[in-house]
Structure 1
Amino acid sequence: MKNNTNKTILAINIAHLRKLKELSQGNLAETLNVPRTTLGSWEEGKSSPSIEGLTALARFFDISVDTLISMDLSSVTDIKSLVEIGGKRVLFPIVVDKHGNDMIELVPVKASAGYLTGYTNPEYIQSLPRISLPYIAHGKYRGFPIVGDSMPPLEKGAFVIGKYLENVSEIKDGKTYVILTQNDGLVYKRILKFNKSDGYLMLHSDNSYYMPYKIPFEEIFEIWEFVCSINPSDQQPSDLAFSVLQSIQQDVQAIKLNMKL
């Protein structure tokens, strides 16, 4: 919450989201079937909505009650930046650089262990380093470190750049994805024999030493479709991989060669 106000997060969010919808207090109050003075009291933090009121607000703004009462949304400039993650609509802003290129957050190896608990935390996400990769189509992208040897030719120290998928129905059979799971955290696997009606994903490693396994949909929090990878030629820690990523910004051709169209 901002330091220059004594208002609750809920009060700030109601007022801000109403303005994003370009509605007056009277318009929103009429939609919610409450007096305008009641809505004004909510926005001033002088009173709080009942459970029914919270539910109506959450339904109207198409976000979860948890997000509405616990996450400061005052930095949101477009309600479309609130997307579905783990069954809840949460803040997922797209940041661009001065040239209009989408900025990509990188999850270093040291930060990846905390990703499972931090992926919905704006402070955690904002703390991640960012780069821009020209000629990548608009969307929400993030870079994830590769650990282990289950997906050759990618090696330890490489990064996979993935595009966020809002729904499992966007999965393409045979493609590779970074998946955030409830029990395994971040994994990078190939999805084969995909059928949405099965209720699970069958994850395969390109290294035949590792056996495929199932992940039920309810254990999946995020899915990122492979876009490109940066695979350093020498076996160095992730700090070097990050330096390689930065240098890629000055060498667009290298990125184009690594992209899967």
Structure 2
Amino acid sequence: MLLSKNLRHLRTSQNITQSELAEKLGVQRTMISAYEDGRSEPKLLALKVISELFGVSMDELLYHDIQEKGRKAVQSRDTKILTIAVDESDRESITMVGQKASAGYLNGFADPDYMESLPQFRLPNLASNQSYRAFEIAGDSMLPMVPGTLIVGGYVDQLRDIKSGKTYVLVTASEGVVYKRVFNYLEENGKLFLVSDNEHYKPYEVKGEDILEVWEAKAFISTDFPNPKDRNNPMTIEDLSKMILDLRSEIVKMKGRS
């Protein structure tokens, strides 16, 4: 493999320090040195982040001498190939990612064989011009959505299309698979602000380069019938506006501390 040579060449040609690359991958700087010296190899998830960061395919990164032979092709970071499942009539199905499958999904979401091994189903009344995936949520951070609820999400190809205040399933290199209310500050600081509907959970930030997939919540499936007496009051436009103002204030405070 030519990984160590290619990684060093790509990093230095773009004037990225080992420390900066280590921060993007969430590893120690010494690990980058080990990768470039051939003493260690990054895991599959880190390889995917590296390939997207430098706009190269994993095949090119591992087996093509980029320094000597030049680039095969430049791939945009925003260009992703989505692996989908179809039935015997070539109709696209909804792939279900259960709680136990979430960890494996991080490494297998681009593998057709892995995706075919997951349960598939179809739902009526969904727009036919979009791809869908269902994720089983865990925990109580998004009440009244209880643990075990399936969130059916429509694929979002471009991060810039994320609309502040809506809920999404995010597949991330740093946090795994999460379902949150998202506020888009990518143009301001390159980050997304993730908020739980359960106020007992603190909001947090995720860097844009950590996002592997985005699915906008379109429907949910649950065996738990909601009781109106137990449900939180629906969020109004005024509540949402106040939340955005509060979040902006929190981001300003974070910038001041950094």
Contact 2:83 2:111 in 1 (8 A): no
Q: Which residue of the other structure, out of 212, 218, 238, is the alignment partner of 1:221?
A: 212
Aligned to 1:177, which of 161, 164, 168? 168
Question: Over residues 145-202 of structure 1, what are the superposed CA-to-partner deviations in whole Å (9 max), with x where a residue is unaligned?
Answer: 1100000111111100001111111111110000011121000000136453320000
Q: Which amino acid aligns with 2:156?
A: L
Aligned to 2:189: 198
Q: Which residue of 2 aligns with 1:66?
A: 58
Question: After the TM superposition, which residues 72-91 of structure 1 pair with which residues of structure 2 at under 5 Å, given as runs?
Answer: 89-91=80-82
| CA spacing shift, 1:91–1:163, aligned 2, 3 Å | closer
Counterpart of 1:126 (choices 109, 112, 116) is 116
Structure 1 residue ranges without an equivalent (≥5): 1-62, 71-83, 235-261
What is the identity, as a one-letter code, of the residue corresponding to 2:99? V
Aligned to 2:95: 105
State the alpha-carbon separation in 1 of the partners of residues 221 and 144 from structure 2: 11
Contact conserved, 1:105 with 1:131, CA < 8 A, in 2? yes
**In the superposition, relative to structure 1, how do residues 108 and 180 fare at CA in structure 2: closer, same or farther (>3 Å)?**
same
Q: Deviations over 1:57-101 (max 9, x none)?
A: xxxxxx95336899xxxxxxxxxxxxx997563352462564x75
Which of the numbers 210, 229, 238 marks the counterpart of 2:201?
Answer: 210
User: Residues 69 and 209 from structure 1, CA distance in 2 versus in 1: closer, same or farther, beyond 3 angstroms?
Assistant: closer
The aligned runs of 1:1-261 (5 Å cut-off) are 64-66=56-58, 89-93=80-84, 95=86, 98=89, 102-138=92-128, 139-192=130-183, 194-233=185-224
**Given residue 65 of structure 1, which amino acid in structure 2 is its aligned partner?**
S
TM-score normalised by L of structure 1:
0.54
Amino acid of the structure 2 residue aligned with 1:133: L
Secondary structure of the equivalent of 1:189?
Answer: strand
* Residues in 1 aligned to 2:131 and 2:184: alpha-carbon distance in whole angstroms: 26
TM superposition shift of 1:116: 1.0
Q: Quick one: distance in 2 between partners of 1:162 and 1:222?
A: 11
Name the CA shift for 1:93/1:197 in 2 (closer, same or farther; >3 Å).
same
Task: Specify the SS of the correspondent of 2:165.
Answer: coil
User: Distance in 2 between the 1:101 and 1:174 partners?
Assistant: 32
Runs (4+) off by over 2 Å: 63-70, 84-98, 192-198
CA distance in 2, matches of 1:229, 1:223: 16
| C-alpha distance in structure 2 between counterparts of 1:204 and 1:85, whole Å | 29
Distance 1:193 1:108, change over 3 A: closer
Partner of residue 250, structure 1: none
Provide the aligned C-alpha RMSD in A. 2.7
Length, aligned pairs only: 158
Q: Is the 8 Å Cα contact of residues 163 and 225 (structure 1) preserved in structure 2?
A: yes
For structure 2, which runs of at least 5 residues remain unmatched after alignment?
Answer: 1-54, 63-74, 226-258
Q: Is the 8 A contact 2:84 2:93 kept in 1?
A: no
